[in-house]
Structure 1
């Protein structure tokens, strides 16, 4: 009888001991991740691992090698493969991966040490050309030297604004141009531009300052040609004059014909028209160049465009 009692007691103690034992995780049913691998780009690291038992999500904390756990950047994911972005080229990082089984139960963290990102592939210079056809819009033409860029970004605001507080725009993928509307006339703006390289990196911002055209810009694309006659015979020639205007619809235009290009157009032989062209008869050879200006609302006048020699 005593022998049976001792045997049952020993079996109970053995079963109790086995039920409390948890192996490597100190009794936890939340298994530690295993078989961690990775690959890097200049600005990212992609981690792959095998989940431990009962884990349904994972907490990844990372920072520069040697950082103190609890002070790093944290990403929580339900995937066993995760890309970590926003890293710095040629920099070594540590990663701690913890399995999450429930609100109260986590696995022991797996430490992945000395993950070094690749050398930068985005070391060129970003430039931009700024121009206007209309007073309320600017056209930006970007370029990147020293490599290839997938697209470009610009942040802009009134001259003197602090980077990070302006308005940001990006070009579409593969495009190097952007038109920004809603711009004020006769106003100084700062434009900060940068490139996005195919590696996912960005260049540093480069600053440009540009003062927009006035509300009544001058005409462009001046031209002139002979319609009939000759300037040195009979009644002279009949000559056509034309131009383009892209800034709106002025009330009229004033054309000034001068003998020398250095003459003040305000003192020339002037004509007014509501069209972007005019023909003038009885032209003789002493007239050699013309200017044209736009007459906008009220007393608003553009600068003289020209001279155009004919």
Structure 2
């Protein structure tokens, strides 16, 4: 079957298709009849024949889409008007649940219309270096749970007003009132991998306790980190005592812990984490590391 015949066949029957890093295609030709398409990835796609201004209309017609990945494929749309047009079209996809816009360095803003995506639970904007702010309408995205802003520089107040957590990398920072931190946003999450960074910003041990880390039984890899040589609001031991990992953890990393003693669960780790296969303790005081190794060997 030639390429035209294949595209006609797919256009009539398929509901999900991945075209990441594939052969040269024509967007208009390939997706004109994909009215039932639910999964589309054009990540890193550089072999698109049609002018990408036509992408807005095509994607706007894919009303059944639940997953859309446009990572790294928008930078060739030179003007901001072209990018804005595409983002406005995406914002009409009322069934969309997972949107990846990562590695598009020319995205400078997100339109207010994105607030229309009421079913969206995951938004990945990592690597959008020129993104300066997020729209107020994102407050209306009641289903949003995961917002990935890795390698994006935004004022912490811009991010903290949204009730969602980044995953797997979650950075603890002060909440808007400065009296608490955002760590509580982790309470509803239960990822396979979780990295909780900048624990020095936790404002109380109770905050750490309230995320119920021990109950997150999907976690297999857990990383808990403090930044070395910076001030802490709460002693690291008080925080770590409340962050008892779930028994499902296979790999545990604890980095930057500078207290002079360890919590009981870490001293008796093989009792608390029976499935553990790897443990990494980095940037600990040397005396703590020595005593921990002695206790483990005995």
TM-score (norm: length of structure 1)? 0.20
User: Which structure has more RCO (C-alpha within 8 Å, separation ≥ 6)?
Assistant: 1
Higher strand share: 1
TM-score (norm: length of structure 2)? 0.20
